[in-house]
Amino acid sequence: MSIFAVVIFLFLGSVEGFSTKSQPCTYSVGKYCKPALFTALFSTASFLLGAITSLVSGFLGMKIATYANARTTLEARKGVGKAFITAFRSGAVMGFLLASSGLVVLYITINVFKLYYGDDWEGLFESITGYGLGGSSMALFGRVGGGIYTKAADVGADLVGKVERNIPEDDPRNPAVIADNVGDNVGDIAGMGSDLFGSYAESSCAALVVASISSFGINHDFTGMCYPLLVSSVGIIVCLITTLFATDFFEIKAVKEIEPALKKQLIISTALMTVGIAIISWLALPAKFTIFNFGTQKEVSNWGLFFCVAIGLWAGLIIGFVTEYYTSNAYSPVQDVADSCRTGAATNVIFGLALGYKSVIIPIFAIAVSIYVSFSIAAMYGIAVAALGMLSTIATGLAIDAYGPISDNAGGIAEMAGMSHRIRERTDALDAAGNTTAAIGKGFAIGSAALVSLALFGAFVSRAGVKVVDVLSPKVFIGLIVGAMLPYWFSAMTMKSVGSAALKMVEEVRRQFNTIPGLMEGTGKPDYATCVKISTDASIKEMIPPGALVMLTPLIVGTFFGVETLSGVLAGALVSGVQIAISASNTGGAWDNAKKYIEAGASEHARTLGPKGSDCHKAAVIGDTIGDPLKDTSGPSLNILIKLMAVESLVFAPFFATHGGLLFKYL
């Protein structure tokens, strides 16, 4: 973090040769803006603020989750309803904490920076973009490092424990069981939290940058400028009301009510949010205003902007429900995958991959429609606020998402503490519902990442002075094809990291089973610490190469090849990254739930495939093991790749526009 802060300061400070003289403004002809050196200084400060907020959010989220999981296990003794409320409320604490801390830090930062910048809106919001970069760069390490940590332990524990030794999941005899439970918190709580925080910070920054060069910025309408923050503020109030529906207004009495209760959260929050957006669009925005649109000003009405936010909000819901259809074992796609296990692991893998590819279709259409409509209404600002609309119910989304790992760990604690089978059944029911909702959360994260990175791309193109991105230009096309390759390179790195870390874990677990006397009988004690150390070391060491790939690509391309090639790289990475991310997440989720479908044996069809330990179940476990790095490491990390490259390009745009393209200058 500190090294990159220095890089930001040096690159941006060198734009005008570290001069302390006022510079002519980029967009307001005839006016003078603050010196580039001070913009560099403030950008560095906002980068550090974003990074620290992201770290603190992830840390507090993990703290809450580890407090909550044991309490959920204890509440499960009283019934499934009590356990659900405990798990859900603790998830909600994390959701609200993250949404509100992101908002309050950003608002305070804007007001403090305003003391220096005064009426120089351009410089003010250019320096604020560092906040999104800080949030996302920490999210990258949280997501990739957390994903490697959790999946190394999970794959190691499953392969030796469940497949080779035929002992239950989370059995205390399994040496990797503690590392597995720790990993759930690292990857799914800290990683997911910092990921969505990054999206949220970036979409706010993209909207603010575009607004600062529009009539809001020209007329100094501070309320209009802060419209993106108002959308997020209303979202927090709406999510607070929505949470009461899950915990206070309706009581859960049976297992089958869990999943509908979680899905109702999404529908209620979306419906209430639509009303909330309408109210603030009417109150906060002028009836007519102009938005900067690649060199021209486009006139927009306040109702037009309401439609932009609303379409992003509803597109998010559609993506969520399509994800649920393809990953929940209540529907035919996952049941077909479970059925394919009859003939072994190979057919299971084929069906799972096909399901993942097919699940990309509707989300892409939903994203495409929301991009077209919001761009037609309000240019790039429309896309930025559509992304904010998708993220406006972030507190509810995170509550549902954090609920999953908390329930999963509650089940692990019940198993390790030797509690009754009935309690384990209840926590498993909570976990199965959480599995599907976690997939919905990943769908939201990927969909919003597509919109956010497009909005950032638009802000970058405007800021770097690129009039048009011509695909037929060789400079742009080479960028496009290399950019489309980057998500594959990144996925290869993260999956191989999980594979090599899992290999060490499997060898260690096997060694302990073979050498520790009485371990299988339950009289010997496993060495949990060594397994935890393997996961920790692997995650810290293995996250550096993928992280470097993402952080260095825009710097190298922008400096040596210039802004046109970089705009091609960003477009290519966005287009291919979204497809791979959706298919990887949904394939992994489907394999996981196909295994759970066979294990639960809730229907006649499921019972013909079971029981646990049968050949059919073993084939499902292998599918689930392959899917683990796809759904929890590669898939979710890709949305950070596309966002982070775009926001980094935006932050360094003044440098690339002034000094970029070294190779083409001298060739």
List, as one string, the DSSP characters of 52-72.
Answer: HHHHHHHHHHHHHHHHHHHHH
Count of CA atoms in the C-beta half-sphere (13 A) of 28: 19
The rounded Cα 96 to chain-centroid distance in angstroms is: 16
Would you give the DSSP letter of residue 187?
Answer: I
Helix axes 302-327, 332-339, angle to 10 degrees: 30
Residue 66 has pLDDT above 80, yes or no: yes
| pLDDT for the residue 339 | 93
At residue 173, what are phi and psi to the nearest 5 degrees? -70, -20
- Pick the range with the lowest mean pLDDT from 436-450, 529-543, 615-629: 436-450
At residue 32, what are phi and psi to the nearest 5 degrees? -110, 140
Q: Amino acid identity, residue 348?
A: N
Token pair listed for 442? 């990943």
CA distance 513 to 156: 13
Residue 222 has pLDDT above 90, yes or no: no
Residue 348 has pLDDT above 70, yes or no: yes
- Pick the range with the lowest mean pLDDT from 74-78, 465-469, 497-501, 640-644: 465-469
pTM of the model: 0.90
| pLDDT for the residue 577 | 95
DSSP string, 148-180: HHHHHHHHHHIIIIIIIS---TT-TTSTTHHHH
Total Cβ atoms within 10 A of residue 253: 10
* 161, 169 contact by CB (below 8 A): yes
CA distance 640 to 191: 11
- Pick the range with the lowest mean pLDDT from 3-12, 46-55, 79-88, 395-404: 395-404
Total Cβ atoms within 10 A of residue 220: 11
| pLDDT for the residue 440 | 79
Would you give the DSSP letter of residue 191?
Answer: I
| pLDDT for the residue 574 | 94
CA distance 309 to 231: 8
Helical spans, DSSP H, in 285-420: 302-327, 332-339, 345-358, 361-391, 394-416
Would you give the DSSP letter of residue 633?
Answer: I
What's the distance, Cα to Cα, between the start and end of the chain in Å? 35
CA distance 391 to 447: 10
| pLDDT for the residue 580 | 94
- Pick the range with the lowest mean pLDDT from 298-307, 428-437, 591-600: 428-437
Which comes out higher in pLDDT, residue 215 or 534?
Answer: 534
CA distance 650 to 169: 46
How confident is the model over 18-38, as a mean pLDDT?
A: 78
CA distance 318 to 612: 35
Q: How far is CA 622 from CA 280, 594, 616, 619, in A?
A: 50, 11, 10, 5
At residue 260, what are phi and psi to the nearest 5 degrees? -60, -35
Q: Is 283 exposed, middle or buried (0-12, 13-18, 19+ CB in 10 A)?
A: exposed
CA distance 318 to 390: 11
Cα dihedral 221→224→228→229 (10° resolution): 70
The rounded Cα 220 to chain-centroid distance in angstroms is: 34
CA distance 134 to 127: 12
* DSSP-assigned beta bridge partners for residue 292: 297
Highest mean pLDDT among 194-208, 317-331, 343-357, 434-448: 343-357
Token pair listed for 291? 């938005």
Residue 93 has pLDDT above 80, yes or no: yes
* DSSP-assigned beta bridge partners for residue 641: none
Total Cβ atoms within 10 A of residue 314: 18
Backbone CA torsion sign across 141, 497, 411, 322: positive
At residue 417, what are phi and psi to the nearest 5 degrees? -85, 0
| pLDDT for the residue 609 | 86
Q: How far is CA 650 from CA 288, 303, 454, 517, in A?
A: 28, 29, 12, 59
Highest mean pLDDT among 172-186, 571-585, 647-661: 571-585
Which tens digits make up the pLDDT trace of 237-285?
Answer: 999 999 998 888 888 878 788 888 888 888 999 999 999 999 999 999 8
Q: How far is CA 161 from CA 30, 169, 535, 592, in A?
A: 71, 7, 17, 17
Per-residue confidence band for 154, with pLDDT thresholds at 50, 70 and 90: confident
CA distance 131 to 219: 25
How confident is the model over 594-610, as a mean pLDDT?
A: 85
**Helix, strand or coil, per DSSP, at residue 292:** strand
Which tens digits make up the pLDDT trace of 410-456?
Answer: 988 998 888 888 898 888 888 877 777 777 777 888 888 898 888 88
Per-residue confidence band for 144, with pLDDT thresholds at 50, 70 and 90: confident
Would you give the DSSP letter of residue 549?
Answer: H
CA distance 71 to 66: 9
Backbone CA torsion sign across 391, 395, 396, 401: positive
Q: Which residues contact 335 (CB under 8 A, 6 or more apart)?
A: 329, 594, 597, 605
Radius of gyration of the chain (CA): 25
How confident is the model over 129-155, as a mean pLDDT?
A: 86
How confident is the model over 518-546, as a mean pLDDT?
A: 89
* DSSP-assigned beta bridge partners for residue 605: none
**Residue reference for tokens 């037929």:** 472
Q: Is 578 exposed, middle or buried (0-12, 13-18, 19+ CB in 10 A)?
A: buried
Give me the chain's average pLDDT, please.
88
| pLDDT for the residue 218 | 80
| pLDDT for the residue 667 | 65
How confident is the model over 88-101, as a mean pLDDT?
A: 89
* 82, 240 contact by CB (below 8 A): no
Residue 614 has pLDDT above 80, yes or no: yes
| pLDDT for the residue 266 | 87
How confident is the model over 66-86, as a mean pLDDT?
A: 91
Residue 396 has pLDDT above 80, yes or no: yes
Which tens digits make up the pLDDT trace of 358-378?
Answer: 999 999 999 999 999 999 999
* 508, 157 contact by CB (below 8 A): no
| pLDDT for the residue 648 | 93
Closest CA to 595 of 571, 579, 611: 611
CA angle 440, 446, 451 (to 5 degrees): 125
Count of CA atoms in the C-beta half-sphere (13 A) of 412: 24
Residue 395 has pLDDT above 70, yes or no: yes
